[in-house]
Amino acid sequence: MADTEQGSFLPRGPVGVWRALIWSLKGLRAAWRLESSFRLEVYVFVLLAPAALHWGASPLEKAWLVGSLLLVLSAELLNSAIEALIERYGAEYHELAGRAKDMGSAAVFVLMLNVVLSFGLLLGPRLLG
């Protein structure tokens, strides 16, 4: 949520950080309850993150693999937020609304390709050869 005082650069303090955490958890809970794609991507994360941590050769490789999975979840949350905002203004078709939804979906798809490439290029030769 935006700061209430315009031009305020003061730190939020513990209460503000706590509120931000609560809002973030509320968003995660809503995504889990309402978005089947998000749930599916969490299941994929639960399966692939331990594999990345086990077979990653270095801490950097492990961070890259797990990070690529987290990026998919982040993009899905943003895509769901875009879709919710568009639906708030009505279900009737509008070309720009359709384009925004398609681009949000494309962003998730591109990051999924990144996961496939990362796992394939980093772990593939090690596991297959």
Domains in the chain, number: 1
**pLDDT tens by residue, 57-78:** 999 999 999 999 999 999 999 9
9 domain residue, yes or no: no
17-49 as b/e: b if 16+ CB within 10 A: eeeeeeeeeeeeeebeeebeebeebbeebeebe
Q: Which long-range contacts (CB under 8 A, 24 or more apart) does 60-64 make?
A: 61/122, 64/118, 64/122
Q: What is the CATH number of the domain that holds 80?
A: 1.10.287.3610
111 domain residue, yes or no: yes
**pLDDT tens by residue, 77-127:** 999 999 999 999 888 889 999 999 999 999 999 999 999 999 999 999 988
Is the overall model pTM greater than 0.95, yes or no?
A: no
6 domain residue, yes or no: no
21 domain residue, yes or no: no
53 domain residue, yes or no: yes
Amino acid at 29: R
5 domain residue, yes or no: no
Q: Is 83 a catalytic residue?
A: no
Catalytic residue among 5, 35, 76, 92: 76
89 domain residue, yes or no: yes
121 lies in which domain range?
Answer: 36-128
